[in-house]
Structure 1
Amino acid sequence: MDDYYDVYGHPKPGPYPTPTSATASTIPLPTVTGTPPQFEHIGAAGHRTLWVLFVLMLLSTISFIGIAWRVAIPKRLFYQLTTYVLLVSTISYYAMATGGGWSIHRVWATEGHKHDLPDTHHVVLQQVFWARYVDWLVTTPIILFILGAVSGLSGSNILNLIVANVTMNLTVLFSTFSHHRKAKWGWYAMSWIAFAAVAWNLAVNARATAQRRGAQGVYNPLAIYTVVVWTTYVVIWGVGGLSRTLTPDGEAIAYAILDILAKPVFGLWLLTSQGKVKEAEVHVDGVWSEGFGHREGLLRVGNGHGHDEDA
């Protein structure tokens, strides 16, 4: 607590008067104001969890780089994208484990009492890891792009997926840092609506496309798995940062488990399954594999007389 007040420049509370002998024998009543701020932050268990996740993400990133290195460039798209997801998470967890990537959010909490006693009010200083939101804003669109590519979804629908996902992450971020209780739950409700759009596109549009393409054997299990894991994320957002019914250490552990499932486990499942179904593979030639010096990758401008000139 002292470190918080020294760093953020807020005056320290107190000193608070101790009860005198005249009032010590009376029944204490809860005070309406004057209670010192309550600081909610991760403890030793949460801090160890962050370090464990950093090590796991780092080892996963190195492993996926090694796997991608042995794959031909035209078939390397999914390998590179999953590696990028793990790399971003590695950086995020290192920031959190080393004491960065978080800020203080001030919450005004009210506690009701029975027997017509006045409500008590106190300030809660929440430790919010904004590094998680940076991680999710970068990595979840990549995961959705992968699922869209596996299913053969159109670029227009993939863009809809990504925009709905970004909306979901932003509304949860706004909910977390909102100072008004009703506004918090309003933002949170919007995040559920955005997530419903993501889930609907995965379950309906992408599933139908994968069926027509013959890639449903790979796509369907991955899509169902992703929707279930991401649903749990949204629930944890609600019971953790918003309603504060989950301890900071419990929240850190819950997110750690979900991040393992959503990233390294998802990536390993994808890479081991998509190669077994030809329809689920994505080959990228031209500029991707040969560079801009490749003639198929050159931009050509026609002159209207059947003769083209290289741009």
Structure 2
Amino acid sequence: MQNLFDVDPIPTVKPTPIEYEHSSDTGNTALWIVFVIMLVASGFFALLSWNIPVNKRLYHYVTTVITITASLSYFAMASGHGVSNHCFEERDTHGKIPDTYHQVCREVYYARYIDWAITTPFLLLDLCLLAGIDGAHTIMAITADLVMILTGLFAAYGSAETAQKWGWYAIACIAYIFVVWHVALHGSNTVKAKGNTVTKLFGSLALFTFILWTAYPIVWGFADGGRKVSVDGEILAYAVLDVLAKPIFGLWLLLSHRRVPETNVDIGGWWAYGLSNEGRIRIGDEEN
């Protein structure tokens, strides 16, 4: 017969060890591969500019800066110098037993956000130059883009248990809408002055770019945001998007630029000749 004073043991919960979400050899290999792609693309874009007058190399310079920056970013991430651990507490439920918490540490590649803060304004500059968008809309588009990137970084380091993370994410999405308005919608009107060929080229490049850019926050939501995708999956998804958005975009733009004279942005003066030559008569500029 059971003693009235006997009681069942109090159920206990074994603490969950720290959970680490890190990349494996698969993710690290992908980072090195994209680094090589960006480096080769940079060399090729620079090569394309050699037989073009200096005052007509603006697209080449801007596009080369994009891939050079991306190559540095991927080198930093692949070598382990562009990443940090973001640690936070996650709730564990146990039915009738009080909830417990365990710590999760996930890798955040902050070098990627530094890359985007430099390269995406240049990508927008390429599109704005192609469409003939005025300086006011160009500056506002770049400003909205920087807000989008920085708030995305804040969201990546936000607390998963509060609305802080998703608040920053919402601000980034709103900023993206302003980018689309200033570049895609406004540019579709200004580019018409350059003729049908340039209009079609801008429309294709802009659509291609904004489809890719829409995919970035979706990947973020499943990766850094909801943690539904592993770090390796995150690396592979961003790798594909970055290759399409930078080397492929740049190749498309520069090859089209060579075939379509109407895309030229002729910038003489200081850009091509320096301040010491301002005011001088230059003979045969087109042959330089």
Residues 1:235 and 2:215 aligned together: no
Name the SS of the counterpart of 1:275 in structure 2: helix
- Alignment equivalent of 1:145, drawn from 106, 125, 149: 125
Residues 1:257 and 2:240 aligned together: yes
**Cα distance, 1:290 vs. partner?**
1.3
Q: TM-score, normalised by structure 2?
A: 0.89
Deviates more, 1:61-70 or 1:244-253: 61-70
The aligned amino acid for 1:61 is: S
% identical aligned pairs: 38
- Alignment equivalent of 2:271, drawn from 257, 282, 288: 288
**Cα distance, 1:196 vs. partner?**
0.8
**Cα distance, 1:118 vs. partner?**
3.7
Q: Distance in 1 between matches of 2:49 and 2:88?
A: 46
Contact 1:239–1:246, Cα closer than 8 Å, also in 2 = yes
Deviates more, 1:275-284 or 1:134-143: 275-284
- Alignment equivalent of 1:77, drawn from 34, 53, 58: 58
**Cα distance, 1:116 vs. partner?**
4.0
User: After superposition, where does 1:1-311 map in structure 2 within 5 Å?
Assistant: 30-31=13-14, 34-112=15-93, 115-179=95-159, 180-214=161-195, 215-296=198-279
Contact 2:137–2:183, Cα closer than 8 Å, also in 1 = no
Which structure carries more relative contact order (alpha carbon 8 Å, separation 6+)?
2
Q: Distance in 1 between matches of 2:136 and 2:185?
A: 15
The aligned amino acid for 2:187 is: A
Q: Distance in 2 between matches of 1:277 and 1:171?
A: 38
Q: Cα deviations across residues 187-234 of structure 1 (Å, max 9, x unaligned)?
A: 001110001111122221111111233231221101011100011011
**Cα distance, 1:38 vs. partner?**
0.6
Name the SS of the counterpart of 1:121 in structure 2: strand
Contact 1:57–1:264, Cα closer than 8 Å, also in 2 = yes
The aligned amino acid for 1:282 is: V
Contact 1:274–1:280, Cα closer than 8 Å, also in 2 = yes
**Cα distance, 1:293 vs. partner?**
1.7
**Cα distance, 1:117 vs. partner?**
4.7
The aligned amino acid for 2:177 is: A
**Cα distance, 1:139 vs. partner?**
0.4
Contact 2:138–2:183, Cα closer than 8 Å, also in 1 = no
The aligned amino acid for 1:129 is: Y
Deviates more, 1:173-182 or 1:46-55: 173-182
Mind listing any 5+ residue stretches in structure 1 that lack a counterpart? 1-25, 298-311
The aligned amino acid for 2:126 is: I
Q: Distance in 2 between matches of 1:263 and 1:119?
A: 46
- Equivalent residue pairs, number: 270
Name the SS of the counterpart of 2:163 in structure 1: helix
Name the SS of the counterpart of 2:105 in structure 1: strand
Contact 1:218–1:274, Cα closer than 8 Å, also in 2 = no
Q: Distance in 2 between matches of 1:69 and 1:29?
A: 72
**Cα distance, 1:271 vs. partner?**
0.6
Deviates more, 1:176-185 or 1:39-48: 176-185
Q: TM-score, normalised by structure 1?
A: 0.82
Contact 2:89–2:101, Cα closer than 8 Å, also in 1 = yes
